[in-house]
Amino acid sequence: MQRIHCSIIPPHLLTRLAAVRDGRLAVASEAARHALLELPPVLQVREQALRAPVRHGSALPGTLVRRISDAGGREELPGVLVRPEGGPATGDAAVDEAYEGLGATYRLFDEEYGRSSVDGAGRPLEATVHYGSHYDNAFWDGERMVFGDGDGEVFGRFTASLTVISHELTHGFTQYSTNLEYQGQSGALNESLSDVFGVLVEQRELGQDAAAASWLVGAGIFTAAVEGTALRSLAAPGTAYDDDVLGRDPQPATMADYVVTASDNGGVHINSGIPNHAFYLVATGLGGRAWEGAGRIWYDAVLSGSIPPDCDFSTFARATGEAAEKRFGPGSAEAGAVTDAWAQVGVLP
């Protein structure tokens, strides 16, 4: 059975870095070339990936079970178990960051939405750190999260960002709920859901309301040599970085700038900026704690049964509108904010 391989670093970034011939970035360039070889083929059919039944949550109290393994610089999974659930901190930053990040993500879904783990049935959360040598990526492979340490010249270790950890684990939630096809608009929604719940995990851990949050995904994984703050920005898609080597963040904020491309499975990491920005507009329009208002609407929509695997932006927009009306009432501020946001990004009239 083929596994999914949803990675945090998009192909366009790795491609630019792989083409660099500057001796000062020799390690980074070689690491990017290797990471590109690890990515699945551009037109790989994602619907053949691991499928699982939809689970709407567990009636039983959730039990958090984490298992962090160490690949020891090899590209072999799962590696050696180094921190099981309840185990003490190891002093290894990557191990302990992964452990805490899994816990933070679990708590959001469990305590706010009543979902026991990514599958709604208490599935243990598995992660492997120190994958490969100078490995420039982090990914969800359908069973576990895998983190590289970065090349040290452009990317640092990927566990240093809580939003990277929560983003990757949310791919598991999507896999066990809608299993959105990783192609075109449904693939961009897949990536967007990971960004949305990724930032909500961080905001909840920091106690931030929508106005105080950074709305950044991947802040902290660039080295000081990069002109940029993060991989993506939900508040202002297209502004996360502008670097001589990596280029400029290509994400659009509205359908007017939708990118038509054959690469990256139809631009799943690029066009996700549009639904990302719609969520940001809903959250900031409502104010307060985003995981309670906008986050609850998005969560309800995903599990509503109205999100097909090939869902496009407009179908998802209507599902969020229906979810807002069902939870908060027709004519509510929440329902109005959802309609206005999708109109502002050009998905709905």
Catalytic residue among 38, 126, 153, 168: 168
Listed residue (212, 176, 210) closest to 193, CA to CA: 176
The helix (run of H) or strand (run of E) holding residue 247 is: strand 247-248
Catalytic residue among 5, 34, 167, 269: 269
Tell me the C-alpha distance between 279 and 285, whole Å.
10
Q: Which residues contact 327 (CB under 8 A, 6 or more apart)?
A: 296, 297, 300, 334
Looking up tokens 């990471």 gives 35
CA angle 131, 157, 116 (to 5 degrees): 75
Annotate 154-172 with b (16+ C-beta within 10 A) or e (fewer): bbbbbbbbbbbbbbbbbbb
Cβ contact 183:265 at 8 Å: yes
Tell me the C-alpha distance between 4 and 181, whole Å.
10
The yes-or-no answer on residue 168 being catalytic is: yes
How far, in Å, are 7, 151, 172, 195, 217 from residue 125 at the CA level? Answer: 17, 26, 10, 19, 21
Tell me the C-alpha distance between 149 and 330, whole Å.
48
Listed residue (151, 137, 164) closest to 24, CA to CA: 151
Tell me the C-alpha distance between 156 and 224, whole Å.
10
Q: Up-side HSE of residue 287: CA atoms within 13 Å toward CB?
A: 1
Active site residues: 168, 269
